[in-house]
Structure 1
């Protein structure tokens, strides 16, 4: 089985390709990419992703700080963005769906993704439609 991570949005999000971090002139192993899915909704999401714009999030190493920066710069509540972390073809239970403010997110807020097998973050208030 494979773990997949997706952004799903009501409106388009910017893509990032082959973004490498560097330190003192050396390329690190961290690569962070956000690419449109070839198939919407992705098969791996077991039919739970319903938004029209879906992006696969890829990163080697620990790109949490890059992910936080991307969210703060590009995710708006009105786009009703969801961030899915899901094992291939499994479902995310409702008790593993969280709501966070995209402008106040920190790497610590995202660390629980590693503690839960399947989860979803919704970057919009509960009462928004």
Structure 2
């Protein structure tokens, strides 16, 4: 008898998942703060930006670049989750997690000097990790540190 353990990520709506990437190791420094919602969706990853994600004093093109970097970080981290699921299925059939999520970027905060797309890319990766922790608890082994 086989026990079905397949689940979908996220198992329930996760609202207000906060991700902060702050690195001060001299110049240049990096800073990004983002709040996103993770909603169950059809299989795959859908990324949206809420209308509230504007930054006073920054052009629409600059803010769009930050949004795209955040979305790329989310997709990269979820791709790692999908790859880990394929490895789990290869060793234990009917085991793993299906990625079926809509991510809505609700708000961002920037630093006038230290914010850059790379920081938002890392914040996107961190948002996925925070959502996983909120949904399933801490991992059995720590994640590797972000660069």
Which interval holds the TM-score relative to the shorter structure? Answer: under 0.3
Instruction: Name the one with the larger helix percent.
Output: 2
TM-score normalised per structure 1: 0.27
Q: Which protein, 1 or 2, shows the higher relative CO under an 8 Å CA cutoff with sep ≥ 6? A: 2
TM-score normalised per structure 2: 0.25
User: Higher Cα Rg: structure 1 or 2?
Assistant: 2
